[in-house]
Amino acid sequence: MHDDDLLRYSRHILLNEIGIEGQERISAAHVLIIGAGGLGSPVALYLGSAGVGHITVVDDDTVDMTNLQRQVAHTMARVGQPKVNSIQVAIEAINPNVQVTPLQKRADAALLHELVAQADVVVDCCDNFATRHTLNAACVAHKKPLVSGAAIRFDGQITVYDSRNPLSPCYACVFPPEATFEETRCATMGVFAPLVGIIGSLQAAEALQLISGAGRPLTGRLLMLDGRSMEFTEVRVSRHANCPVCGPKA
């Protein structure tokens, strides 16, 4: 670790739970972020500022004026540009030593299986069930930890699915693929701007803990936030014996 790194990351290094070894693990890590919007923005900015060595961001959308209310990585000057390129610029302005791979692509099964295999930690910042299930299947197949977050209106949630842990559920255990869930989008339901910042920051924290070994990740625990009252509720979630994705017959 160079002198500049010791200075830049000194506040992490001072933490006994991280130290130089933990920071070196962070600097050597590759994190895959799916989604460059409200959740992806704080995740990418915090992981970049923390010195994650390689960040790959996948999103096929462009920056729109309506995004600026909550997607803090983007600016007026970058309206109309691909969100992944906007996030790359934002990270480079904070920490030019981080390698950022922007991919303006639809996150389909083939792409996700390729990218998940290369990552150490995967962060789900997307906004639809189909992509979440496809991403979860790839993470289970390659045994990669998945930090999952969601936010709509005033309600947010976050958990960690870690198929390396035999007791950990996967996304399909908690939200079965065959179940019918109403798709909710910010464009029609609205979202409280700071909520995505709160949940995204928590996702970044979970990713850094998984990489560095600090703390106890949210594996098996679904943390829900009611933004109206700022009350957190924790629910234990367990692995489903007959899960079609991570079960014995999968």
Domain range summary for the chain, segments of one domain joined by +: 3-236
Fold of 3-236: Rossmann fold (3.40.50)
Asked if the model's pLDDT at residue 187 lies above 70, the reply is: no
Let me know: does 212 contact 51? Beta carbons within 8 Å. no
pLDDT value, residue 180: 62
* Interacting residues of 49 by C-beta distance below 8 A, sequence separation 6+: 94, 95
1-51, pLDDT tens digit by residue? 788 999 999 999 999 999 999 999 999 999 999 999 999 999 999 999 999
Rg, C-alpha atoms of the chain: 17
Please enumerate in sequence order all residues whose Cβ is within 8 A of that of 109, keeping only pairs 6 or more positions apart, or say none.
134, 137, 138
pTM for the whole thing? 0.95
* CA 228 distance to own-chain centroid: 23
Question: Where does residue 64 rank: exposed (0-12), middle (13-18), buried (19+ CB within 10 A)?
Answer: middle
- In this structure, the strands spanning 30-34 and 54-58 are parallel
Tens digits of residue pLDDT in 107-125: 999 999 999 999 999 999 9
Q: In the prediction, which pLDDT does 177 show? A: 84
